[in-house]
Chain A
Amino acid sequence: MSSKESILAAIKGLKLEEKPLPDIPDFEIASDLVDSFSLSLKANKGTVASKEEIEKLISETEFLKIYSASPVFEQYSNCQVPEHPADFADLDLAIIEGQSASAENAAIWLDESNLALRALPFIAAHLVIVIRKENILGNMHQAYDRIGLAKSGFGIFIAGPSKTADIEQSLVVGAHGAMSLRVVIL
């Protein structure tokens, strides 16, 4: 008997009585979603920035390598997507678009179609995500309703920069991935 067969047989042999699968009801959401999103993002150590602030950041910071997958900041892109993701190890700034977000926790959903490369939002030193105001939803239930069963090889909720508290519970931003996350709400 293969392990698959023996595992399934062991479960079937228990003849467990089926328990009901509950429906997930609607819950109340914040009245001001942008405000709620911004507060949640701050708690996750991300910041809300305007388009102008990002442009100022780019002009004032010596970012040598910038890649924008967002048409909003296309003119700042100064490199091509490499064949191997490791060649993006020196990427200073990545700019991508988010599809929708959940205000309760600032989790921004995006999938492969928003990323030229799966590694993009992690390997870049700094990350900017552009999101439309009308796509900010109340909570995770609404976010998953919006996503539905949409098919993508890879999808992710990003809610902040890379962070850790593994050294004596001291919060440090920039563990392995992006050392900052700025979100532009259009």
Chain B
Amino acid sequence: MSHPENATVFLKDKARAKWHDETLWIVREKRDATIHQIPEWEKLRELASQIKDHTLSKLDFYLEELEKNATANGIKVHWAENAEEHNRIVAKILEEKNCKAIVKSKSILTEECHLNPYLEERGIEVVDTDLGERIIQFLKQPPSHIVMPAIHLKKSDISDIFHEKLHTEKGNVDPVYLTHAARLHLREKFLQAKVAITGVNFAVAETGEFVVCTNEGNADMGVHLADTHIACMGIEKLIPRRKDLSVFLRLLARSATGQSITNYNSHFRSPSPGKELHLILVNNGRTKQLGREKFRNSLKCIRCGACMNTCPIYRRSGGFSYGSTVPGPIGSILSPGIDLKKFSTLPFASTLCGSCSDVCPVKINIHEQLYEWRQEITKANGSSLKGLSMKMANGIFKSPLAYRISGKMMRASLKNLPDSIIYNPLNTWGKGRDLPDLPEESFKAWYKKNRP
């Protein structure tokens, strides 16, 4: 399925699509309001970008530093070349612990590695404990957003699934009531779990520690009650110094939801006495992306989701339309690096308006990379229909005469263009859109007549 085909499915429910669009825009506005309180915001973005650039330029050194310091702290460090090896490492630890049920807090990496189905096939119950993730787990859906995994759902949907799974009152859609029901249900799971899995927001090479940020406190509830904590991180989550966290923690929540910080920011450095702490460092294609000069700095991403909230395409097509673990603009530059063919439509799911790059807290040039991927994909596919029309447009804009003539032709032809062409299945752009009313004359003609 391509992005346009998937987006069509999302857009069938017009009211819901409108709600989705507006809700994400509100989150974008919250982000704007909070960053305007920080005069040094742009400086912080620059610092974050430079710290990540530096780290990526010496990633091998910092990974070894991290391993050395974490090991000295009593953390067991594992290395995984790919998703399958990551899953194998997790399964092996669970087997050693004779563990049949785990609690897991939000981790996009474990989604990327498809850890849940891997463990479930081996008879292990996986309970996602972030409220949004639990909701979509009940519905057997993937997250549609990396920060707000259930943003595509309405409270009536959640009420229905909770009625079925948690026996809440039918038709009660009160978010407080529903959240409380989930609290009771998940508390039971926390109290029973022997092994807890978390993701990692940042790992610090200098101290051998890692940081996990949540608002719900679910990561902490999981790991402090369990005997074994397994943390899974992509190798790009590294930063050199502890004080670098000050820059990233100022940027992350403000960019994500407009909060000044997440309510829980936990620094794990060594296990509690008698307990175990594992850290799995996962590559899964990241060293390849590091080798692609044009796309290297996509690895700076701190997974705040700001580019999704601002993207006119994401807001109007929904997270599922991308068909990738990380959707939206950042997903559209990360995914083609993993599978160019499968994700070939994603870099085209953009107007190249650049809003994603403007809000990115680590200054990734997302829209430029989208454009670069288009070149790569066109090269790989030969010239596509869309590519051809782009080239024609390019020629027209280059020549003033061609531009004048084509403008007259366009005005004449657009008026008479039958809907069958605009709304032709080949023209996916026409879906959900109308052409603007055309002026009777061009600006140039009007100016000639009316100039003083």
Which A positions have Cβ atoms within 8 angstroms of B? Answer: 2-4, 6-8, 10-12, 14, 16-22, 24-25, 27-28, 40, 43-44, 85-86, 89, 104-107, 117-119, 121-123, 139-141, 143-145, 147, 149, 151-170, 172, 174-178
Which chain B residues lie closer than 8 Å to A40 at the CB level? 260
Chain B residues contacting A89 (CB-CB under 8 Å) are 187, 191
Give which listed residue, A21, A22, A167, contacts B175 with CB less than 8 A: A167
Q: Is the C-beta of B261 less than 8 angstroms from some C-beta in chain A?
A: yes
> In the complex, A110 Cα to B65 Cα: how many Å?
26
Tell me the smallest distance from the CB of B175 to a CB of chain A, in Å: 4
B383 within 8 A of A: no
- Inter-chain contacts of B281 with A (CB < 8 A): 7
Task: Tell me the dominant secondary structure on chain A's binding face.
Answer: loop
A147–B290 CA distance with the chains assembled, in angstroms? 33
Q: How far is the CA of A17 from the CA of B79 in the complex (A)?
A: 25
Contacts of A140 in B (CB 8 A): 245-247, 249-250, 261
B258-281 vs A, Cβ < 8 Å mask (1 yes, 0 no): 011111111111111000000001
Pair B225/A155 contact, Cβ less than 8 Å: no
Q: Is the CB of A167 within 8 A of B131?
A: yes
Task: Report the separation of the CA atoms of residues A20 and B250 in the bound assembly, to the nearest whole angstrom.
Answer: 21
Are A141 and B243 touching (Cβ within 8 A)? yes
Residue in A closest to B261 when the chains form the complex, CB atoms: A105
For A119, the chain B residues whose CB sits under 8 A away are: 220-221, 224-225
> B64 at the A/B interface (Cβ < 8 Å)?
yes
**Would you call A8 and B57 a contact (CB within 8 A)?**
no
B107 smallest CB distance to A (angstroms): 16
Q: When A153-B269, A176-B190 are in contact, do A21 and B264 touch as well, CB less than 8 Å? A: no
| A–B pairs, 13, beta carbons within 8 Å | A3-B85, A10-B288, A11-B63, A19-B50, A19-B56, A40-B260, A122-B224, A147-B242, A151-B269, A164-B179, A165-B257, A166-B132, A176-B216
Given A6-B81, A19-B50, A144-B245, CB of A175 within 8 Å of CB of B57: no
Chain A residue at minimum C-beta to C-beta distance from B38? A104
Which residues of B27-45 have CB atoms within 8 Å of chain A's CB atoms?
27, 38-40, 43
Query: Which of chain A's residues has its CB closest to B148's CB?
Result: A166
Q: Which residues of A contact B154 (CB under 8 A)?
A: 168
Q: Which residues of A contact B217 (CB under 8 A)?
A: 122, 162, 175-178
Q: Which of B50, B183, B272, B283 contacts A175 (CB 8 A)?
A: B183
Q: A86-B191, A144-B243, A153-B271 are in contact. Are A166 and B130 (CB under 8 A)?
A: yes
Is B291 touching A14 in the complex (CB atoms < 8 A)? yes
B360 neighbours in A (Cβ, 8 Å):
none
Query: When the two chains form their complex, are residues B246 and A24 in contact, meaning their CB atoms are under 8 A apart?
Result: yes
In chain A, what residue has the closest Cβ to B52? A19
- Taking CB as reference atom, which chain B residue is nearest A151? B269
Assess the A7–B246 pair: CB atoms within 8 A: no
**B344 in the interface (beta carbon within 8 A):** no
Is the CB–CB distance between B269 and A123 below 8 Å? Answer: no
B240 touches A (CB below 8 Å): yes
- Return chain A residues, CB-CB under 8 Å to B175: 167-168, 170, 172
- In whole angstroms, what is the CA distance A148 to B180 when docked? 39
Give the residues in chain A near B262, CB-CB below 8 Å.
159
Question: Which B385-400 residues have a C-beta within 8 angstroms of A?
Answer: none
Q: Is the CB of A155 within 8 A of B50?
A: no
Closest to A167 in B: B175
Contacts of B272 in A (CB 8 A): 118, 153-154
* B290 touching A14, Cβ below 8 Å: yes
Give B64's nearest chain A residue, CB to CB.
A8
Q: Are B132 and A20 in contact (CB under 8 A)?
A: no
